Structures are given as structure tokens and as C-alpha cells.
Amino acid sequence: MIQIRKKENCCGCNACVQSCPVSCIQMHEDQEGFWYPKVDEQACINCGLCERVCPCLNIKPTGKTKFTFAVKTNNEDLRKQSSSGGLFSELAGWIIRQDGVVFGARFSEDWTIVHDYTDKIEELSSFRGSKYVQSRIGNSYKQAQTFLKQGRWVLFVGTSCQIAGLNLFLKKKYDRLIAVDVVCHGVPSPKVWNRYLEDLTGNQINKITDIQFRNKRAGWKKYSFVCKWNDVEYQEVFAENLYMKGFLRDLYLRPSCYKCPSKMFVANSDLTLADYWGIQYLNPELDDDLGTGLVFVHTEKSLSILNDLNINKTQISFEPLIKYNPSIRYATVKVWGLKRWLFFFGLNMDFSVIWLLKVFTKRLNLKRRIRRLFIKRT
């Protein structure tokens, strides 16, 4: 049976829960807001399925891609609505036109992130755009498997560990599955996200009408976080937004992200998507600051589909990309343990998350952080 002795050895993909034939595994939230499986040992039949589908236990390095392209849609309106170059929307549209189903991450009614599916073009906007919170997979692997067995095309988009979990869960290749992983910096705590929204809106999460992590009004490279509620439109460039600063400084990522087992194309996806950071240095002739993506092509069927899309793609070299987007190859560097512990200690003492972020994203030494934390407590 699956046993999580070290939290860094679980990515929260939910594959073990969905594979259990007697439904004896449930996910439980820990004090940091991440979910981990817990087995009902009395109900467990020791079949071992949960261990065989775990990405942290079973990923084997593959490490090569067939082609690398810089890519953007030729539909400028669609590109403006996208976080990067709009390839997801073009690919999703193709799948739906084949009577297929698209799985991806969207906001729920309470502005948490969940994996869901659609087979309607008009619903794709909910799945478009980056979302910097860990999504709840739920039963989406089972749902995808059902559609595949019906002979429908399925596009499944997720982080590399989620795609690795999907492939291990399915146990076989499906000709009509297009599995797409995104190059990932790490997944932040849903608990931190929820508390941030509470502080930002004055406990009016139910009044929020829109959230964008990657608004391009100031340009693609200088994207903004946007949140709208009531008559308020809050907008802040990512480098100044406290939530994004905490995320990019690796303060509240899932423990497994610091030793990610899914880097460098080991998830057995068909395509891997990323931003083309560094384009102004490597291919300045392609840079208009409206958003350009990278796509790493791993299978012939996905290359065939790309050739059928309304996109502009340019083949480029792989190795120079690592300098500007190291998350392609490397896991996030682990934040010093005490700093991260102190942040979550303050969070669980019900300190304002915005106040905590102001303290923990400043360049303060440890003594000053501890002093501020305990002065606040008293």
C-alpha cells in the first residue's frame, strides 16, 4: 500500500486514489494546504496498484525530445487572451472539432483550481491562461479513460507530475490521447492562495468576478496579476505583486517540487509547453512582446497535429533555452527550511498572509524575521 513517509515523495497527483479497486484511499489536507493520500488499512487488499501508478516511485528517465519550436497562433485576438503564444487554444480547438474532449485546469466557484473537461469551444476560455496554484485532479484520470475507451480524442493538459500520473494510471498507450505537460516552476499551496484572496478582497471572495495571473496590458514579459471584485480592479506587475513574489521565490511550493522527479520530458507526454523566455536574446527577430511559446515535440502524432494548426512555428536549438528557462531541466532550489517553516507557522497562527509576504519577501536576515514574527504574535 502507498505510505507517505516523506512529504517530498508525493506530488498529489491523485493517481493512487483513482486506481484503488476498493476505494480505500482518500486525500487529506495537511497544515500547509497540500493534499496527501491516506489508506484505510482495514479495507486495503494489498493489491499494490497504488504503488505502481505513483510518479514519485516509478518514473524512469527518457530525457530527449524530437523537435523544439518557437510558436504562436496566427489569431491575434486569441494570442492576446493567452498567457503566452496561444498554442493551447489552437490545440484544444482542433481536438473539439474532432468531437474530442479537453481536460485542463480552471477556476472553481470559490476561485480554487480544479481539473475539469469540456467538449465545447465556447467553454475553452475557462481553461485558458496560467494558474499558479496546485489544481485538484479529482477523478479526471478516470473520466479521460472513459472517453478514450469510447474512441474519442482526449487532450489532457497538466503539470509534468500530473501527466506522469495519468500515463501510469492508464497503463497503456491510446492513439487518440494527446498528453501535454507544461514546464513548471512548482505548485504553490492552495491554502496560501485562499488566504491571500481573503486578505486582498477583505473576505469578499464570493464577490470576485475575474482573476488573471498573466495579463498582458503592460506586455508579455512584464505581465500583471489582475483581480476584480465589486467595483475594484486590482492590477499589479508580477515583480511587485506579493503573491507572485512569494511564488517565484519558492516560499510555499509543495515539498515534492524541490526534488521534482518529472523534469526533462520523463512524463511520457506527447508535447511539452513553455514560455520562450530569453527570446529577445536568442531570436530577437521573433520578439514582439505579445507572447511566444515553446513546444517540445515528443511523438509523431503530435507533430502531425501541429502541422494542421493555424500557428506560426520556427524550429530552434534546445540547449540555449535552459539559461533563460531553467525549470525545463532543473527542480526548484529548496528554500532554507527554517524560513519556510516560519512562514507557515505564521500562517497557521492566523497572521495576515499579506503581512507575512511583506516580511518574508523582503531581504531581511533571519533574526529580524523572527523578531517581527513574534512581536506580531504578542
Question: Does residue 319 lie in a domain region?
Answer: yes
Domain around 285: 67-188+253-328
Structure confidence by residue, pLDDT tens digits, 67-108: 999 999 999 999 999 999 999 999 999 999 999 999 999 999
What letter represents residue 136's amino acid? Answer: R
CB 133 within 8 A of CB 187: yes
Instruction: Please give the pLDDT value at position 2.
Output: 86
Find the range with the poorest average confidence among 4-8, 69-73, 275-279, 284-288.
4-8
From the number of C-beta atoms within 10 Å of its C-beta (0-12, 13-18, 19+), residue 345 rates as: middle
The residues with which 296 forms a beta bridge, in sequence order, are 68, 272
- On whether both 85 and 157 belong to a single domain, the answer is yes
- On whether both 242 and 142 belong to a single domain, the answer is no
Tally Cβ neighbours within 10 Å of residue 240.
Answer: 10
Instruction: Please give the pLDDT value at position 61.
Output: 65
- pLDDT surpasses 90 at 295: yes
Percentage helix, strand, coil for the chain under 3-state DSSP, each rounded to 5: 35, 20, 40
- pLDDT surpasses 80 at 308: yes
Residue among 78, 204, 54 nearest 141 (CA): 54
Q: What is the CATH number of the domain that holds 42?
A: 3.30.70.20
Label residue 216 left, alpha or beta by phi (over 0 means left) and psi (-120 to 50 means alpha): alpha
Structure confidence by residue, pLDDT tens digits, 350-372: 999 999 999 998 865 555 555 55
Question: Does residue 323 lie in a domain region?
Answer: yes
- pLDDT surpasses 80 at 373: no
Question: Does residue 139 lie in a domain region?
Answer: yes
What Cα–Cα distance (Å) separates residue 244 from each residue in 98, 180, 192, 317, 334?
37, 24, 11, 30, 17
Count of domains forming the chain = 3
Q: What is the mean pLDDT of residues 143-172?
A: 96
Q: What is the mean pLDDT of residues 176-187?
A: 95
Instruction: Please give the pLDDT value at position 309.
Output: 97
Largest CA distance in the chain: 63
CB 9 within 8 A of CB 56: yes
- pLDDT surpasses 60 at 306: yes
Tally Cβ neighbours within 10 Å of residue 125.
Answer: 12
- pLDDT surpasses 60 at 184: yes
Structure confidence by residue, pLDDT tens digits, 323-357: 999 999 888 876 657 888 999 999 999 999 999 99
What is the pLDDT of the chain when averaged over all its residues?
Answer: 92
What's the full length of the chain, in residues?
378
- On whether both 184 and 195 belong to a single domain, the answer is no
Question: Does residue 1 lie in a domain region?
Answer: no
Tally Cβ neighbours within 10 Å of residue 51.
Answer: 14
